[in-house]
Chains A and B, each alone.
Chain A
Amino acid sequence: MEAMTTQDTTDTLDVARIRADFPIFDRHGEKPLHFLDSAASSQRPIQVLAMMDEYYETTHANVHRGVYGLAERATEQYEDSRVAVGAFVGAPDPSREIIFTKNATESLNLVSNSFARGLFAPGDKVVLTKMEHHANLVPWLMVKDQMGIEIVYIDHDADGYLDLDGLDAKLDGAKLVSLTLCSNVLGTLNPVKEIAARAHDAGALVVADGAQYVPHIATDVQDLGIDMLAFTGHKMLGPTGIGVLWAKAELLERMPPFLGGGDMILDVRLDGYTPNEIPYKFEAGTPPIAEAIGLGAAVKYLSALGMDKVRAHEIALSEYAFRRFEEEFGRDLVVHGPKNPLDRGGVLSFAYRNVHPHDISQVLDQFGVCVRAGHHCAKPLMRTLGVAATARASLYIYNDESDVEGLIEAIAATRSFFG
């Protein structure tokens, strides 16, 4: 059975129709659910859930192993998803270049560990930014501890724009640059294409963290000119437990494997092993089969909506939020990061008067408004912002102006406790 897909033929997203595809919005109870935490994890539509159920109900067997029909069909669906996910980000050779992992964090650890096992030498330079999620920071710090690589950081200004002065000096002699396409705190869309071109001129490889970008903006790895891309299924309508690493085939060929075990080998002897060909070389053990298939359904859903429309919707809704915040709260509410919606994703980290983010999100919860409060796994960035935590509202395809209004009403209600 083909999963049903919402075909949208108008210029803008039909949010009411989209919401009808997401069971969580009916099942939530009497209060409307203002789910504004998709940057932490999105909700998923019935098309994704049904696809996974159907797989388990009709098809499941281990992949790449059985010769019987059921196992063949499972393998085929798993491999079809690989190709669909690869096509979604413009991978030139998706059946060889897409590696399924557990999440973006594992994808980035795969890269750092693999490089530490053969491609880095002590003293090699890695360039990061100061706005990275811990997932794109700690793996490199671990390699630093392990073998003594040098890490240098690209700064950013008070509005959350990267400071590219002196970039060439930082890139000089660098082996690798790893940076986020979109900050999960500031929302900043970084000029990765430009940085990648300059990094390549300096002889460095480029890893992009697309966890907050791929779900929201049409992504083309070839146009971006990057070498590797990490992203995660659960932030883009897919299930948890599935992440992706895309990397150029010739690079994957050179990279040593990360995890060892079944499936990732061609031959094993008592004194050694021969790794499998790519991408299997990097997929040790039974993979998250149903999750990969669910992610395939998710990218199909997003493609049917049209990623350009998804982006246009988020820009329009961000503009609306900025305008309404200004009208209602003036200077009492400050959104961190770029003020121009075109320069940012739909991630709105904000401070409201002196109310602590925990207290804000607690009051908001009473209004059915879900936002994230905390350090967003970006403690170095929090320190440069001079705060311990922020409240963050993030927008996606199923949000509309009523969610922004719900947020505003709830923020105003914090006054009854916090003056």
Chain B
Amino acid sequence: MQGLEDLYREIILDHYKNPRNSGQLDSPPAHRAEGYNPLCGDEVAVYVANDGDRIVDIKMSGQGCSISRSSASLMTVAVKGKSVAEAREAIRTFKNMMSIHEAALGAEAEDQVGPADLRTLGELAALQGVVKFPVRIKCATLAWNTLSQLLDEIEAGESN
């Protein structure tokens, strides 16, 4: 099951079985957004407590497959304590890693996520194998799209 080892990396299975930052935050004061994958019924709720520009706490809950759950868990670890701008950058890099392969599953796609980007991705790089399984990309990006929407809402709310 060679191909599958790329998908089900140990880090992924670990985050699936022992999700980090799983749970809820009281909202308000925390902000909350939900995401659904209508295709398979996966759902995620993301909670963010911010202090101005900083994400001081983040939690996620919901249900889904190993890829959607572990991606959500890895995401919370990646952005907790970061500024909103840094979180957006992480979202951009992550989605880039998913989408370039979506467009071109070929070799040259590799150059587009440079080594520097991969380093900033840290453990998230474990999810790279997902791109070889295009139907699972939506699972991996669900929590990230939800966070992105939540950050939009926070910024819109706070600029009012």
Which residues of A are at the interface with B, using a C-beta cutoff of 8 A?
356-359, 362-363, 366, 373-375, 379, 382, 388-389, 413, 416-419
Contact = CB atoms under 8 A, between A and B. Distances in A.
Contact of B4 (A357, A382, A389, A417): A417
A55 B76 CA distance: 59
A363 B139 contact: no
Interface stretch (B64-72, B79-87, B151-159): B64-72
Interface string B65-103: 111000000000000000000000000000000000000
A357 B37 CA distance: 14
A391 to B, nearest CB: 11
A379 B1 contact: no
Most buried by B among A356, A363, A366: A356
A357 B41 CA distance: 11
A417 B8 contact: yes
B72 to A, nearest CB: 13
Interface in B101-129: none
Contacts of A388: 40-43, 63-64
Contacts of B63: 388
A411 to B, nearest CB: 13
Given A359-B66, A388-B64, A413 B1 contact: yes
Nearest to A375: B41
Most buried by A among B17, B41, B66: B41
Given A388-B40, A417-B13, A356 B4 contact: no
Nearest to B42: A388
A366 B17 CA distance: 22
8 contacts: A358-B64, A358-B136, A359-B66, A366-B1, A379-B41, A388-B41, A388-B63, A417-B13
B48 interface: no
A361 B39 CA distance: 14
The prevalent SS among residues of A at the interface is: helix
The prevalent SS among residues of B at the interface is: mixed
Interface string B139-151: 1000000000000
B3 interface: yes
Nearest to B67: A358
Contacts of B66: 356, 358-359, 417-418
B80 to A, nearest CB: 25
A382 B43 CA distance: 14
A416 B1 contact: yes
A418 B66 CA distance: 9
Most buried by B among A362, A413, A416: A362
B41 A389 contact: yes
Give 10 nearest A-B pairs by CB, closest first. A388-B41, A358-B65, A356-B65, A417-B8, A375-B41, A389-B41, A374-B40, A359-B66, A366-B1, A359-B65
Contacts of B3: 366
Given A388-B42, A388-B43, A389-B40, A362 B4 contact: yes
Given A358-B66, A362-B136, 18 more contacts: A356-B64, A356-B65, A356-B66, A358-B42, A358-B67, A358-B139, A362-B4, A362-B7, A363-B4, A366-B1, A366-B4, A374-B40, A374-B41, A375-B40, A382-B41, A417-B13, A417-B66, A418-B13
A362 B65 CA distance: 11
Contacts of A379: 41
Interface in B1-20: 1, 3-4, 7-8, 13, 17
